[in-house]
Amino acid sequence: MPLSKSELEAFLEKPRLAHLATANTKGKPRVTPMWFKYERGVFYFSTRLHRVKGHHYKRNPFMAVSIATEERPYVAVCAFGKSEIIKENREEWLRRIAYRYGEKEKPG
């Protein structure tokens, strides 16, 4: 059963692992558990472009993502599309993603 917009946003607000699927030029798939941030209909991830996901992106920017509960009743969100690299405010996005999964840095 599809989630309503508010149910979708509430589901994706929780710090669950996303499973990001990429493919190399020969179409060989690779799935990686990732931290993410969902905002205004967009999934944000971080990676290093010299790593496997970065190489896959450079050759084939189409990706898929799956986020699911681990308990019953199972709920899952799946999405796919063409990804893009965002370089503006990189450090801020890294913090926003990381804060979802742990304590914020303490000042001082």
pLDDT at position 108 is 46
The answer to whether position 79 is within a domain reads yes
Tell me the per-residue pLDDT of 29-71, one tens digit each, with 9 for 90 and over: 999 999 999 999 999 998 877 788 888 888 889 999 999 999 9
Which tokens hold the place of 92? 């801020």
pLDDT at position 43 is 96
What is the number of structural domains in the chain?
A: 1
pTM of the model: 0.83
CATH number for position 37: 2.30.110.10
Tell me the per-residue pLDDT of 65-102, one tens digit each, with 9 for 90 and over: 999 999 999 999 999 999 998 888 888 988 999 998 98
Q: What pLDDT band is residue 105 in, cutting at 50, 70 and 90?
A: low
The answer to whether position 72 is within a domain reads yes
The answer to whether position 50 is within a domain reads yes
